[in-house]
Every structure is written in C-alpha cells, then in structure tokens.
Structure 1
C-alpha cells in the first residue's frame, strides 16, 4: 500500500470520526439528574423539644418559616379533648395537660422562643385557627375557617394586634371585595407589598390586597376566570375537569420568578398563574383520590432556581417532590401512620433555607415534625 494512499485513508478516517462526534453532539439528550440532586429526608424524632408549662398542641392549622429561619405554628386549642387537656379542667382530671397558646415560634433546634394568641382588646379572635404567614417587615398574619371566620388578622411578632382585612361576620361571596370567605392561607409579595389570600373554605378564589392599607387589588378563580359560587357536584375523576376551584382553595405560594401556585385541594391539582391572575398551566396528582383531596399545601425548594415544589397530601399522607417546570413527581416520603416520619392528615408544610422540612398535622395527628435534608440537593 503506497504512502499516499495511507495518508488519504488517515484523512478520510479523521473526517468520518469528526462527523460522528458532531452528529452525536447534535442529537445527544441531556443527562438525567443525579440521584443526589433530588431532595431526600430523614425524620428528626427529637424535634421540637418538649413544651414548657405542661403545654400540649391541638390540631395544627398552619406552619411557616420566617426570614430568620424560625418556625411559626398556629394550632387549635379548642380541638383538644378532655383527656388531652385534663390538667386544665375544674377539678383537674389528670396531671397533663394544658393547651399551649395558639401561636408559637421555634428555632431550628426546636426551642420555643415565644408564644401568644387568643382573644384580646380591639379585635375578635378566629373560631378555628387556619393558616399563618410571617413577613419580612415583622408582621404575623393569621386566619380561620370556622363559620364567620371571614377575615385575616395582622399582629406584630410579639402578638400586638395591628389590623385586619375582612371581619368576623357572614361572607358576601366570591366576588365581594370587602369580606373574605374562611381563608385558608396567605402569601406575601414583599416587592409589591401585597398579600395574596387563598380564599378558601367558603369562597372559590385568590384575592390580593395591599399589605399595609388592606386596600383591595384584584381577585380571580380557576383558570383566571371570574369565580362562581354555584353548587358543584362532588369530585369525580371520570368527569370533565372542574372549571371552578373546589372548596377549599387551600394554599397560595409565590415563586421568585413571579409565578403564583394555588392548591385546588379537592380537585387534586395545582394551578399556576401570573401575578395579574392570568392562567399559565395546571398539574394533576393522584387524580383518583376522593375524600379530602390530594393537594393540601406547597413549599418552594430554596435553591436559586426553586427547582422543586414540595406538596403535602393529607388524604394519601405523603409529601411529594415535584419538578417545578413540568410537574413531574421525582420523589416522595411519608405514609399513613402515627410513628415518627409518618402522617395522619398532614395539613401544611414549610421549608427552611437549609432544606429542612417542617410539617403540621390536623385531626388526631395534632403534632409538628422536622425532616432533615439528607442529599446534596442544595449544592
């Protein structure tokens, strides 16, 4: 074989190899995410530390993490049974226990930092505590979902009453701009100084107010349409998708990119909006779930892109880890039960900046739990 022919063959082989590399690069698929990129957790059975003063928690109506990494809880003292609050009866029935105040603040180690709440001068306390939010201006917002709990109340961190939106009085429906309808949860848009309300157990909407003045801004229902309070049939997974939110509209969360996520609990879906109420998309989860539905609360993962949503499912008693861009479920933890790490009606959840998850349970659960991050999902 001549040297000239060998050189030509070498050149052609190189060109063919280069073409193959270019072709493979052109059609290559993105590498799947590493397992360590997906959040995983282990329960911290020692959290929180035992409450002082012989206190005990009732059903936990809400949980949130503030800008300091402190965990705030609102619970329902009136949900305690006589055997649970035996020490507070007259005469005392047993050595334990006494209800804790409705609002409690903990640090990440489980130490109780402060507590307050209940009836006071200048305001009417809610009939059944539901939802708590703490803004970076140092205000605590709470709501309720008993009959006539048609307001959200604003307090200082120490429990001094500041103002309220709505009133403890009958609702006026989903298109009234002065009164709420048993609101479930709130979220603060700190840049716009607005408060978003998942409104809620009585109404079928998200409504937005100025967080300082309480002035009405806007509201919307499912798919960004005008809400309608007409009676809806029971949820049926085989029926046409509901065009209105069901009761309750159980959560609202605002992502850093401006998307607004809403829990339509009974309809087993998360609907996504822009801040002006225009509809973007929706994700369905466990569509065959009946009872109290599969989408109870949402927390945004604290990485820069807020890659995941964590969603509490109180009917199936698990936390789902959802990829935010496409709604794919990439993991989950928990199951029905009363041992550490299990749930009975996991009602709400929150995530701190270190990726630790805090959960709250209602019905007979009546507890809060902490789950420590065990993967490299924040790196």
Structure 2
C-alpha cells in the first residue's frame, strides 16, 4: 500500500512539474474556422529546399512561381542580406558565411537547385528591388521590381537569356498612362489570348494589359472597373465605405480557368474579381479589421479543374487563409508570426503545383521559402 502511495505521489509531482501545456493539448487559435469536410490540409516540409551550394544564402524572397514541370522558381533580393550574413564577402573575410545567391533560382520538387542566374546586363534594366516572378508554358521567366526607379517588366528564357522589356526604368506617367508602368508588383500571362496582365502596382493603382509579344497597350482599369486615379487617398479604416480606388500596392493578378481576373487590393483587405475586359464582377473582404500593410498580399487558385478554393497569403497576420472561390466564405486559416516551419514573417507570395502543394516566399526578416505538402 505504501509503495502504491509513493508511486502516485511521485506521478503527481512529475505532472505538476510538466505543467498543463504538456498534460493537455493547446486550444485552437481564436477565430480559427472549423475544418469543413474536403477542405485541403497541409503539412510543412522543414528540409525544403536543400542547402544552397557555394556558401550561398538568400535575402528577402520577393516572388515565387511554379512552372509546367512543377519546378519552383524564386526571385530574391541579394542586396537585403544582413551584415552578419555576408562576412565572407569582406576583404579580408570576417566570417565563414556567406555570399548572396544569384537572384533567380529554380528548384525541383525535392528542393534540389537546378538553375540560377540574374542581375544587371546589356540591353535591359535589371530592377533595383526585385519583386514578382511568373513562368509561362514555354518556360520563359517574367520579372519585375518595386523600387522607385523600377517601372519595367523583363522577360528571359529559362536559362537567363534576355528576350524583352516592357516599360523603362525611371520613367512613369501615372495610372492612366498607356506606355509606362509604375512599380509593377506582379504579372500573369493569358496565353490563349497572348496578353500580359500586370498588377501595377506600388506607384500606380490599376491593372494594365499588354500584347505579350509586342508590348503594345491593350486596356487598363482601376477598382470596380473605374478609371484609376492618383489622387491622395484617405487611410484605410475598417468601418469606412469601401474605397472606389485601389490602394497601393495593387499586389497581385491571377486568371482563373473560367476566365475571371482576381486582383489583390492589399491594403484595402480585399480581392476584386473582373472579367477580362475589366468589368467588375464581385469582391471578397478578407480580415477587414487588418490595418497594418493589409491582409491580401497574394493568392492562388486550387489545382482542381473547377478551382474550388482560393489560398491567400496574408503577410500582416502571418497566415494562409482558404476561402471558397464561389462565395468568399472563409474555410480555414493556418500559420502565425514566427520563424519555425509553418510560421511566417511577412509571407509575401504564394504558388501552387499540379498536385496541390503550396509554396510561400517571405520578405522583411523572413528571408526564406517554404513548401507545404497537401495531405488531404
């Protein structure tokens, strides 16, 4: 009997030392929607991608895309390495680590580095602050930048051979200009129509469409399909009437299989949906109480033919939100601010492969990309 009492007493002490966090599961975060049946679930792959060669390290990862082969492309900002990350570049070297990787990197599904290139060269204006990447079905890579001087979009082959430039560095003429850009954030090609859609952007407040081969202007529009305006706007307030104009930045543009155009109006906490001619269809407000930097940084549509879901990168709140594409209902949210796998610091862009796996890119102090394998 005494032995049993001692055993129970020791068990109670051990339990008290362990604390309640170990004795029972932690509750779900506040506001977390319940998991609806069939909604995709994901698991982070903490060892993706594999370590880079050559003592390389990446800075702010400002764009991510998936190509026709399910290869993952990123563009990062070599100039944003922290001082203690580039000691190896000093003369004499101050530390073993590191040197900046080339700005454009291509990985396979296992995280192996396949190709790399990028930077200033003859015949084009390389962006001062790299921002945004898209890879078309021919394997050509489209890039942009968001520095005050970055008013151009560049196209390269997958091997880094320069093909085309639309717009010019240091030249911008406002949101109704037909022949200049204003710090474009993101782009997507409508290949059957041969048209390039641009979220333009950090200075301008519009979507603009060009002929993809010639760079000739086709059309443009602002929020709700209105003529865009560059007049000073009131700061976003959750309880104010929705703004009739896009805010800066107009941060992403995506085209669905059924021909709708989805635009990230980041600081206004909303997605606006259009037909390809710029006529307004509907909008979804996402985390409308978000005041700091906005809640809609990027989005992708799910890989199923009907594209039932939209996955939203929310940098301000450090999370991925899944909504129904049909009605905008929030179905799941996952992630939080942090530096561990599955957590985010300024999740900036998002991409999806043909299997439904998700990839994210982080700016600010994030300096990384993550892979999330779809498990259901």
TM-score of the superposed pair, with normalisation by structure 1: 0.89
2:139 and 2:157 in contact (8 A); partners too: yes
Instruction: State the SS of the aligned residue for 1:365.
Output: coil
2:67 and 2:139 in contact (8 A); partners too: no
Instruction: State the SS of the aligned residue for 2:340.
Output: coil
Give, in angstroms, the shift of residue 122 of structure 1.
1.1
Give, in angstroms, the shift of residue 34 of structure 1.
9.1
Judged with a 3 Å threshold, the aligned counterparts in structure 2 of structure 1 residues 368 and 34 are, in CA distance, closer, same or farther, namely closer
Tell me the residue number matched to 1:149.
Answer: 150
> Based on CA coordinates, which of the two structures has the bigger radius of gyration?
1
C-alpha distance in 2 between matches for 1:373 and 1:138: 25
1:128 and 1:146 in contact (8 A); partners too: yes
C-alpha distance in 1 between matches for 2:192 and 2:84: 47
Tell me the residue number matched to 1:95.
Answer: 96
Tell me the residue number matched to 1:327.
Answer: 328
1:83 and 1:93 in contact (8 A); partners too: no
C-alpha distance in 1 between matches for 2:64 and 2:79: 18
Instruction: State the SS of the aligned residue for 2:53.
Output: coil
Tell me the residue number matched to 1:170.
Answer: 171
C-alpha distance in 2 between matches for 1:349 and 1:83: 28
Instruction: State the SS of the aligned residue for 1:62.
Output: strand
C-alpha distance in 1 between matches for 2:374 and 2:258: 24
Give, in angstroms, the shift of residue 138 of structure 1.
2.3
C-alpha distance in 1 between matches for 2:144 and 2:320: 24
Instruction: State the SS of the aligned residue for 1:282.
Output: strand
User: For 1:64-213, what aligned pairs fall within 5 Å after superposition?
Assistant: 64-213=65-214
Per-residue deviation, residues 25-56 of structure 1 (Å, max 9, x unmatched): xxxxxxxx995510000100010000000000
C-alpha distance in 2 between matches for 1:91 and 1:304: 56
C-alpha distance in 2 between matches for 1:189 and 1:305: 18
What is the RMSD of the two structures over their aligned residues, measured on CA atoms? Answer: 1.1
Q: Which runs of 5+ in 1 are unaligned?
A: 1-32
C-alpha distance in 2 between matches for 1:359 and 1:58: 14
Instruction: State the SS of the aligned residue for 2:224.
Output: helix
Q: Which runs of 5+ in 2 are unaligned?
A: 1-33
C-alpha distance in 2 between matches for 1:259 and 1:132: 20
1:295 and 1:312 in contact (8 A); partners too: yes
Where has structure 1 moved over 3 Å in runs of 4 or more? 33-36
Instruction: State the SS of the aligned residue for 1:179.
Output: coil
Per-residue deviation, residues 321-374 of structure 1 (Å, max 9, x unmatched): 110000011112111101111000000000101011000000000000000001
C-alpha distance in 2 between matches for 1:225 and 1:128: 29
Tell me the residue number matched to 1:366.
Answer: 367
Tell me the residue number matched to 2:338.
Answer: 337
Tell me the residue number matched to 1:18.
Answer: none
How many residue pairs align between the two structures? 343
Per-residue deviation, residues 73-118 of structure 1 (Å, max 9, x unmatched): 0000001122111111222121001000000000111000000000
1:144 and 1:182 in contact (8 A); partners too: yes
